[in-house]
Structures are given as structure tokens and as C-alpha cells.
């Protein structure tokens, strides 16, 4: 997963729900020095009885915000969605460098 262009990750999930899987796995995909490199990661855990759907918000360097529906999407499609935008940013960054 390309995490260079992500500036903000906000997740909310109830760990006792099976649907929280992709949100939790997304957190584990972020590199160990993500916070040190300026990414802000906020996680809010819901209580066990809550039936609120789990949510994942991702903000990119160019200001684009993504609200991903973790209830329905698996981790593969979440990563695919995020990478789709990251690759555009990567292309622009490469063009600017050269």
C-alpha cells in the first residue's frame, strides 16, 4: 500500500463486530514511522453493545477525502481504493521531480 500521500486516517469501530476487520487491518498496514512522518492517526473504539457501523476516513496530501465503507468492503478493496488515488499523486510527484 502506498502511504506516502496519506495525511490523516480516522477510524471508528467496535472491535466485537466482525465487520470491523478491514478497519483494523488497515491500521496494521500503516508503516511503523507513519506518525513520525506527519500522518495523524485517530482511532476511536466503540463499546461492545454499539451497533454503529465501522468507518474509515482517509485524507490525502492534495486535500481529497475518502470515506470508505468498511462494513461491506474487504481489506483488499479498501487498499485498492486508497491506492487508486495514491498512484495519481505518485505520478504527479514523479513528473514534478524530473
Summarize as ranges the residues that interact with other proteins (CB under 8 A).
Answer: 15-18, 20-21, 24-25, 27-28, 30-32, 35-36, 41, 43, 45, 47-48
Residue number, 17 or 77, with CB nearest to other proteins: 17
Compute the least distance from the CB of residue 52 to other proteins, in Å: 14
In order of 42, 64, 82, 87, 92, the CA distances from 58 in angstroms are: 11, 8, 8, 15, 19
- Rounded CA gap, 64 and 59, in Å? 6
Compute the least distance from the CB of residue 71 to other proteins, in Å: 14
In order of 20, 45, 70, the CA distances from 17 in angstroms are: 6, 11, 12
C-alpha cell recorded at residue 61: 496530501
Compute the least distance from the CB of residue 26 to other proteins, in Å: 9
Residue number, 3 or 69, with CB nearest to other proteins: 3
Compute the least distance from the CB of residue 58 to other proteins, in Å: 15
Residue number, 47 or 63, with CB nearest to other proteins: 47
- Rounded CA gap, 48 and 69, in Å? 20
Amino acid at each position: 500500500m502506498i502511504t506516502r500521500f496519506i495525511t490523516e486516517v480516522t477510524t471508528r469501530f467496535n472491535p466485537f463486530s466482525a465487520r470491523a476487520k478491514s478497519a483494523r487491518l488497515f491500521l496494521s498496514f500503516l508503516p511503523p514511522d507513519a506518525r513520525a512522518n506527519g500522518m495523524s492517526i485517530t482511532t476511536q473504539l466503540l463499546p461492545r453493545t454499539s451497533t454503529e457501523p465501522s468507518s474509515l476516513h482517509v485524507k490525502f496530501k492534495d486535500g481529497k477525502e475518502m470515506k470508505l465503507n468498511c462494513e461491506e468492503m474487504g481489506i483488499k478493496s479498501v487498499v485498492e481504493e486508497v491506492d487508486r488515488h495514491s498512484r495519481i499523486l505518485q505520478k504527479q510527484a514523479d513528473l514534478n521531480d524530473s
